[in-house]
Amino acid sequence: MIEADSAVTYRGLLRYVKPYRLVFFLALLGAVIDAAMKALFLWMLSPILEQGFNNQDPQWVFWIPFFVIGIFFIRSIGNFMSAYGFTWVGRQIINDLRQQIFAQYLRLPQSFYDRHTTGGLLSRLIYDIEQMANGVSKNFVIIIREFLSIVFYLLVMFYYSWTLALVAFVVFPLIGAVVYLINKRFRRIGHGIQDSVSDLSSTAEEVIRGHKIVKIFHGEDQEQAKFKHNLKTNRQLQVKIAATKEVLSTITLMSVAVALAVIMYIAAKTGMPAADFMSFMSTMLVLLPTVKNLSTVFATIQTTMAAADSVQQIVSAKPEQDKGIEQLSSKQIDIKFKDVTFAYNHEATALENINLHIKPGDKVAFVGASGGGKTSLVNLVPRFYEVSSGKLLINNQPVEHFTLASLRDHLAVVSQEIILFNDTVKNNIAYGALRNHSDEDIVEAARKAHALEFIQQLPQGFNTVLGENGTGLSGGQRQRIAIARAILKNAPLLILDEATSALDTESEQAIQKALKTVMQDKTTLIIAHRLSTIEDVDYVVVLDQGHIVQQGSHESLSQQTGPYRQLLDSQQLQQ
């Protein structure tokens, strides 16, 4: 079953060759020329020895150097055509595959990223695709070249002695049977190698991203031990696959050696001419490493197939479902939750029977203990997740009726998890669809976010490259650039997930004033942990274990006995 699957997968890989079939066939022609010239030289070895050396024929002696040089010149042309052509096609395939996987990453839903690590996804994009491309370029050229060489070598051998050639030919079914049996082990080990590389990437990515926490909490030894364990696993698997390759190679060599011994015995008994036997034996000896190379590359292909399986999981993953046909176009957003229930991946229920009406322009804060369902509820609005049951209505229409693009055009998000890109300040504020805004609009957005002063102090101002996730900026500065991005979008629906959490007291007060201006005439959903930041909202929704347990204004809830009052008292005690 595994071998059948491998064949299907390998044929699937070859479809990536189709756009480059002209270069591919030229490379294939080069491989044919290379193999034919090698066989021609061996075929001509007998008459050269007989006429040029034994008989000392002057014409043969004269033409021998030209023949040898000509053969190797034509062979070098064929070798260049095949090596360059297959390499060119292979690199094109790598680019195509990486573009396809990267595009797929942009289309996949949030639930997919919940199930996969960043390091593992990067490993698929870099390492696994490289392995796949080798399978359809480097390994494929070896298969073609060695297979053609074997065919031509066998023709030479049958030409000089079909009896001896048949003895040699018996070896190949035996080698095929061994390859068939060992391929299962190669495929299994290959999957293990892909997983170990993914683990290595994940561990390294976590340490690089969280290096401050590692240092502060002295996690160096723990992380080093984890990385060492991953390295050990990878090393053991690599050694296993190398050992298995050598077992296969040894069996192949011994099979050929037995055939060689029988052939020499028969040739001696039958009185085969020395020159013919020399040509036959030379071909047989050249055939031996060719068969070995071919058997080895079949082992390597199993690693390619394991990589292909990993990449295929990404390719076949279902992208975000967008069955919406209506374009949302409104300057006001009304949101209704009607008996909404939601569970992650059909596991424990995160929200249950949520009924809530958020009118256009309302500023609503969602509060409660961690795990209460605040983020889950808000994430349903931009359809990062789909409701499990019930209805979510936007402007009295089911949210799934609108296209994802038009729905998300109507909202801006400022998250507690600040996302900045390795680009200029200007391009981070005017990101994506906002890039057509004028410089004046960008400056104004920065001013409203109270970011203009520190931006102007940067080395190149708005043209300063921030580095990965804005590492050269303080937490407050990074948050203000993110807020400026939301201000520039000026969407009718605003989602704030602890938008001021990274700011100092002075900056927070300035940003709170800016946010009040930005939130005017906008429906605003605020995920809040610090209750002091939501005193001016229209009303508060208290969530506990996926249920709405209280809702009302800050003033009314703070005067009632209940969860909100308990949260308020506990935060006042902590100050």
* pLDDT, averaged in runs of 10, over the chain (575 residues): 44 76 89 88 82 80 88 91 86 85 86 80 81 68 80 83 74 65 67 74 71 62 82 83 75 74 76 78 76 68 71 82 87 92 82 92 88 88 90 92 90 82 87 88 88 88 81 79 88 82 60 71 85 80 90 86 82 57
Residue 327 in domain = no
Q: What is the pLDDT of residue 93?
A: 82
- Same domain, yes or no, for 160 and 28? yes
DSSP label of 388 = S
Whether 267 and 343 share a structural domain: no
CATH of residue 100: 1.20.1560.10
CA angle 251, 301, 306 (to 5 degrees): 120
Q: State whether 387 and 507 are in the same domain.
A: yes
- 310 and 368 fall within a common domain: no
Based on the domain organization, do 303 and 344 belong to the same domain? no
Number of domains in the chain: 2
| Confidence at residue 135, expressed as pLDDT on a 0 to 100 scale | 66
pLDDT in tens, 149-202: 888 888 888 888 777 777 766 766 666 666 666 666 666 776 677 677 777 777
* Structural contact between residues 388 and 469, judged by C-beta atoms closer than 8 angstroms: no
DSSP 424: B
Question: What pLDDT, on the 0 to 100 scale, is given for residue 497?
Answer: 83
pLDDT score at 392? 93
Rounded Cα distance, 273 and 270, in Å: 9
Residues 190 and 96 in one domain: yes
Return the amino acid letter for 448.
K
pLDDT, tens digit, 9 for 90 and up, residues 324-357: 889 988 889 999 999 999 988 767 788 999 999 9
Pair (537, 418) in one structural domain: yes
> Is residue 201 a contact partner of residue 227, using CB atoms and an 8 Å limit?
no
| Helical packing angle, 274-316 and 21-47, nearest 10° | 160
Domain-embedded: residue 324:
no
Residues 311 and 345 in one domain: no
Is residue 252 included in any domain, yes or no? yes
User: Residue 137: its pLDDT value, please?
Assistant: 63
Nearest to 359 by CA among 340, 336, 378, 375: 336
Residue 302 domain-assigned (yes or no): yes
Cα(554)–Cα(564) distance, integer angstroms: 9
What was the pLDDT predicted at 1?
A: 31
User: Looking at residue 6, what is its pLDDT?
Assistant: 47
- The DSSP letter of residue 465 is B
Q: What is the pLDDT of residue 4?
A: 38
Quick one: pLDDT at residue 173? Answer: 65
Q: Are residues 356 and 273 in the same domain?
A: no
pLDDT given at position 2: 34
pLDDT value, residue 5: 46
Task: Measure the CA angle with vertex 220, ends 216 and 224; round to 5°.
Answer: 160
**Looking at residue 418, which CATH number applies to its domain?**
3.40.50.300
Q: Is there a domain that residue 239 lies in? A: yes
In a domain, 416, yes or no: yes
Residues of the domain holding 471: 335-574
Residues 146 and 257 in one domain: yes
Claim to verify: residue 300 and residue 382 sit in the same structural domain:
no
pLDDT value of residue 340: 92
How high is the pLDDT of residue 337?
A: 94
Q: What is the dihedral of CA 326, 329, 330, 333, to 10 degrees?
A: 50
Say if residue 420 is in the same domain as residue 283: no
